[in-house]
């Protein structure tokens, strides 16, 4: 038993699920620890009311103060350090995802940014090949350590600070302050593609826990983590899938969206909208369904991406275009959730029953290589990654577009394809053929899906939350990094 205090940074919807809606929190509290969760100030009271229990305290993450410090203290230097940490991981692992972001930056940068790009590319080249250069960058950034959370450190005297990234987001300031005070720090990997898409830590972090041996190798080889400092604990957020905790009944779910129980359900989760429109994928699917052109009578449920709700954006325009397309298509429906609030956006913990039920009852699930290919494989449903390009991409001056057909070599995308956990469609004809295959024989690729989940999630018995909580508790009780 311990009477120590742990700080947990839950700075987005997925981290709310990871820490507060799994066995991670109960495992920590059962040890006698006091847990202080820091989250978006805009929903602090809402989170406190929903998860209220002894020894759990909710405080604000002070995003406004973080932004002010970032903007007023050598803003350009901090900005480019952040970018170099992102792009500058070792080339000992697949860098294709980072290369896509580098191309985007070169295309969308301001005139001054474009002038700096040769230097940035040169520094990226060096960082990817020199561990000493990477260490120098990580050490240099420590000079930007504000005192945003000083009063909270003094008030609660934490023995451990845990964040949902190793300082890739605003959590870098909290973690830097902890390190400056000599307090041990740890991070968890919330997202499937995080270790391959974001690289160098934004703060000194002593320990990290990840999903699998695959992610551990990405952290060790790509981001210079010491193997003994990387723990494989599985993915707590998926315990509810393995246990069936969140799943509604089929009747309830179909009634929620006005679905026809006599038609097969196709579900499409929009993805990758930052780089490329989803519209061509949606149009091809909607037309196949509306025209009853498949082997079975079907209906389509389209899950919009969080970016589709950004006011005035290209993505919002695409969402409106989708709404217009499906008008008059009675068997095509949209999922449009209500946001949690604050800055945590859409599709947070409130969305888990919706998401779990959509995957569980889909006769075929479709997306563009999103993390939901992993989640759907847990439910053993057929999966299709649809990569039909919209001619010209976004067709907007200054906006970078990347062909969906180019992204298959990105690390997580490559693993999905190599595992044979699903199929990939590059045009409407291929899409139709794959859908008909899965509609006629849904057991196709089932063995590959099960192997894929074992490799990516490690623990498939719903124990990841307990395992991760136990690991964090051991760090708390150890009392030293």
List pLDDT tens digits, range 447-459: 999 999 999 999 9
Q: How far apart are CA 224 and CA 231, in angstroms?
A: 14
Burial of 126 (0-12, 13-18, 19+ CB in 10 A): middle
The label of the residue with tokens 């792009």 reads 87
From CA 366, how far away is CA 270, in angstroms rounded? 9
DSSP string, 429-460: HHHHHHHHHHHH-TTTTHHHHHHHHHHHHS--
- The answer to whether residues 174 and 9 touch, using CB atoms and an 8 Å cutoff, is yes
pLDDT at 345 over 80: no
Average pLDDT score over the chain: 95
Q: How far apart are CA 255 and CA 366, in angstroms?
A: 21
CATH number for the region 243-457 comes to 3.40.50.2000
Q: What is the pLDDT of residue 481?
A: 45
Homologous superfamily assigned to 5-67+142-234+462-478? Glycogen Phosphorylase B; (3.40.50.2000)
Tokens of 96: 């294709």
**C-alpha to C-alpha distance for 335 and 348, rounded to whole angstroms:** 14
Q: Say yes or no: do domains 5-67+142-234+462-478 and 243-457 share a fold.
A: yes
Give the Cα separation of 85 and 102 in Å (integer).
12
Whether residue 150 has pLDDT greater than 50: yes
**With pLDDT > 70 as the criterion, what percentage of the chain qualifies?**
96
Structural domain boundaries in the chain: 5-67+142-234+462-478, 75-139, 243-457
Largest CA distance in the chain: 65
Model-level pTM?
Answer: 0.95
Range in 286-295, 321-330, 421-430, 471-480 with the lowest mean pLDDT: 471-480
pLDDT tens for 55-66 read 999 999 999 999
Does the pLDDT of residue 339 top 90, yes or no? no
């Amino acid at each position: 038993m311990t009477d120590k205090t742990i700080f947990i940074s839950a700075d987005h919807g997925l981290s709310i699920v990871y820490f507060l809606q799994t066995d991670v929190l109960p495992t920590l509290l059962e040890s006698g620890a006091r847990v202080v969760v820091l989250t978006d100030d805009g929903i602090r009271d809402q989170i406190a009311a929903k998860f209220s229990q002894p020894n759990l305290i909710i405080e604000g993450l002070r995003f406004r103060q973080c932004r002010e410090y970032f903007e007023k203290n050598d803003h350009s230097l901090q900005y480019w350090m952040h970018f170099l940490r992102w792009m500058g991981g070792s080339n000992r692992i697949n860098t294709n995802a980072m290369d896509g972001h580098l191309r985007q930056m070169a295309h969308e940068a301001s005139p001054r940014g474009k002038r700096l790009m040769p230097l940035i590319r040169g520094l990226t080249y060096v960082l990817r090949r020199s561990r000493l250069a990477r260490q120098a960058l990580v050490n240099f950034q420590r000079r930007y350590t504000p005192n945003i959370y000083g009063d909270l450190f003094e008030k609660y005297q934490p023995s451990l600070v845990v964040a949902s990234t190793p300082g890739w987001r605003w959590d870098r300031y909290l973690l830097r302050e902890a390190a400056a005070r000599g307090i041990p720090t740890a991070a968890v990997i919330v997202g499937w593609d995080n270790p391959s898409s974001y690289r160098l830590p934004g703060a000194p972090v002593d320990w990290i826990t990840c999903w699998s041996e695959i992610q551990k190798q990405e952290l060790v080889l790509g981001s210079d983590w010491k193997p003994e400092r990387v723990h494989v604990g599985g993915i707590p957020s998926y315990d509810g899938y393995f246990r069936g905790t969140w799943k509604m009944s089929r009747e309830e779910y179909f009634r929620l969206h006005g679905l026809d129980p006599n038609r097969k359900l196709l579900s499409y989760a929009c993805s990758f909208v930052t780089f490329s429109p989803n519209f061509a994928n949606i149009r091809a699917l909607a037309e196949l369904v509306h025209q009853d052109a498949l082997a079975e009578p079907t209906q389509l449920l389209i899950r919009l991406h969080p970016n589709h709700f950004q006011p005035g954006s290209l993505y919002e325009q695409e969402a409106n275009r989708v709404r217009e397309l499906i008008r008059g298509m009675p068997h095509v429906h949209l999922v449009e959730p209500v946001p949690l609030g604050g800055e945590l956006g859409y599709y947070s913990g409130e969305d888990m029953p919706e998401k779990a039920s959509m995957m569980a009852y889909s006769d075929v699930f479709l997306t563009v290589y999103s993390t939901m290919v992993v989640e759907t494989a847990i439910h053993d449903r057929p999966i299709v990654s649809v990569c039909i390009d919209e001619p010209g991409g976004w067709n907007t001056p200054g906006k970078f577009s990347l062909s969906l057909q180019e992204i298959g070599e990105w690390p997580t995308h490559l693993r999905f394809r190599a595992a044979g956990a699903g199929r990939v469609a590059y045009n409407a004809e291929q899409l139709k053929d794959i859908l008909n295959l899965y509609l006629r024989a849904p057991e196709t690729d089932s063995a590959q899906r099960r192997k894929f989940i074992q490799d990516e999630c490690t623990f498939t018995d719903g124990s990841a939350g307990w395992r991760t909580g136990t690991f964090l508790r051991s760090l708390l009780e150890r009392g030293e990094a």
